[in-house]
Amino acid sequence: MVNIDSVYQRVLGILNKEQRGYVTAQEFNLFANQAQDDLFEQYFYDINQFGRLHGNDTEYSDMLNILNEKISEFETTALLSRDATNTFFELPADIYRAGTVIYDNTTTNGFGVTTTEPIEAERVNRNEILYINSSPLTRPINTRPVYTQNTSGINVYGNSELDANVRLNYIRRPARVQWAYQIVFEEPLYDASNSVNFELHPSEEVELVIKILELSGILIKDLGLYQVFDKEELEQIQQEKS
């Protein structure tokens, strides 16, 4: 986690030192969220890139391990609920990428003992459901469920379309950051109790400052400021990927 006030003070300090202009708290919050979103999405492009390369045996410098560690903070599981029309399972509001769909298959034996077995559902295309159901060999059952997904949600099929006991492993989006403040003597004073910090790894603080300064340069129409910190960002990326 990166303290938002630390980033805010560094951004304002650099702007004041360079006499480049001023960014309001509202503008900073907009830039801060944009910077966090950009860095978070870059994790997945970097994983794709480093996944094609050979790793190394150094415990603390394998980039693929580092990226997976950064993303692991956002991995979570949710029990899904049906929508109001009982048409599909709704996806969590904070979902970024869906992972494994799990059906908790509950059975009761002849002695009245109930057991629950978590089973991973296989994803299929919606236009395949008709063909899958047409053969007893491929037809989904509760011990071999399948699911379809679209922008609205997911449907899970076992012996019939399942209505409950469906969980989703997914990666959530970072919480929206906010530098909150109270006006004291006509100046904004940091309000820690109502602020929301960055959820990114602490190592991202410098990159967050650079990205926010880039966006600030665009706002105040200072091409020089944008170019300086765009160059710094490129150098930082090259260093990380070299």
The reported pLDDT for the residue numbered 241 is 52
Q: Same domain, yes or no, for 109 and 29?
A: no
Helix, strand, coil abundance in the chain, percent, nearest 5: 40, 25, 35
Of the candidate ranges 9-13, 190-194, 234-238, the one whose mean pLDDT is the lowest: 234-238
Domain boundary among 153, 172, 191: 172
Residue 159's pLDDT band, with cuts at 50, 70 and 90, is: confident
What is the share, in percent, of the chain residues with pLDDT greater than 90? Answer: 49
Of the candidate ranges 3-7, 27-31, 40-44, 58-62, the one whose mean pLDDT is the lowest: 58-62
Predicted confidence (pLDDT) per residue in 104-155, tens digit: 988 888 787 888 899 999 999 988 888 898 888 889 999 999 999 988 899 9
CA 10/CA 208 separation, integer angstroms: 10
Domain boundary among 127, 145, 172: 172
At 125, the amino acid letter reads: N
Using alpha carbons, select from 175, 37, 151 the residue that is nearest to residue 94. Answer: 175
Q: Same domain, yes or no, for 67 and 184?
A: yes
Task: Give the up-direction half-sphere exposure of residue 236: CA atoms within 13 A in the CB hemisphere.
Answer: 16
Q: 155: Cβ–Cβ under 8 A, 6 or more apart, which residues?
A: 88, 89, 147, 148, 161
Q: Rounded mean pLDDT of 155-178?
A: 92
Considering the entire predicted model, what is its pTM? Answer: 0.80
CA 46/CA 63 separation, integer angstroms: 9
The residue with tokens 């860095």 is 39
Q: Same domain, yes or no, for 150 and 194?
A: no
Whether 64 and 47 have beta carbons less than 8 Å apart is answered as yes
Q: Same domain, yes or no, for 164 and 49?
A: no
Whether 169 and 100 have beta carbons less than 8 Å apart is answered as yes
Q: Same domain, yes or no, for 106 and 137?
A: yes
Of the candidate ranges 57-61, 69-73, 186-190, 199-203, the one whose mean pLDDT is the lowest: 57-61
The reported pLDDT for the residue numbered 233 is 52
Q: Same domain, yes or no, for 131 and 183?
A: no
Using alpha carbons, select from 70, 64, 62, 66 the residue that is nearest to residue 41. Answer: 70
Residue range(s) defining the domain that contains residue 102: 76-172
Q: Same domain, yes or no, for 127 and 211?
A: no
CA 195/CA 3 separation, integer angstroms: 9
CA 242/CA 232 separation, integer angstroms: 15
Q: Same domain, yes or no, for 35 and 53?
A: yes
Whether 57 has a pLDDT exceeding 60, the answer reads no
Q: How many residues does the chain have?
A: 242
Q: How many domains does the chain have?
A: 2
Q: Same domain, yes or no, for 134 and 217?
A: no
Indicate the average pLDDT of the chain. 84
Predicted confidence (pLDDT) per residue in 62-73, tens digit: 778 888 889 999
The CA distances from residue 57 to 48, 63, 67, in Å, are 19, 11, 16
Q: Rounded mean pLDDT of 8-27?
A: 80
Q: Same domain, yes or no, for 68 and 99?
A: no
Of the candidate ranges 76-90, 105-119, 227-241, the one whose mean pLDDT is the lowest: 227-241
CA 166/CA 146 separation, integer angstroms: 12
Q: Same domain, yes or no, for 67 and 182?
A: yes
